[in-house]
Structure 1
Amino acid sequence: MVNSIKGIFVSCDVPMAQFIAHLNNSSPSSQRFIIQILKLDTICMFVKPQAEQIIRSEVSKFRDQLSFAKPA
């Protein structure tokens, strides 16, 4: 019998993969979303579909924190 799981394929660089893995690990066990991590040319993850918006918003917040304005 074949088992299938619906999910979203995420491809990113190593630092972003570590950030997403941290989000997953800091969530309660019932809300963890990473199904599989694949190490190809880049880091690829297979995540649960309901996690897409959470990942997008947290990555956006993370990028905003790392933004620097040129001094005047």
Structure 2
Amino acid sequence: MAFAQTHIARQGDTLELICFQAYATLDMLDTLIRANPTLAGLGPVLPMGTPVVLPPKAPSQSTRPTLKLWD
């Protein structure tokens, strides 16, 4: 089981930037906002030193079949 980590905001950090750096995608942005409800009132650029909880990414359930180029 994976555990949540904490990121400390640096100068110029936004939730979008933190999300992309932590997960390499913005697909987790909604989950990140729900895990940190108090951050919405801080504005688009987070104050330096603000702790941001990074919830673990759920394993993806691929529904697409695997393509094999060679047998």
Q: State if a TM-score over 0.5 links the two structures.
A: no
Structure with more relative contact order (C-alpha pairs < 8 Å, separation 6 or more)? 2
Q: Which has the larger radius of gyration?
A: 2
TM-score (norm 2): 0.31
Give the number of the structure whose residues are more often helix, by fraction: 1
Q: Which has the higher strand share?
A: 1
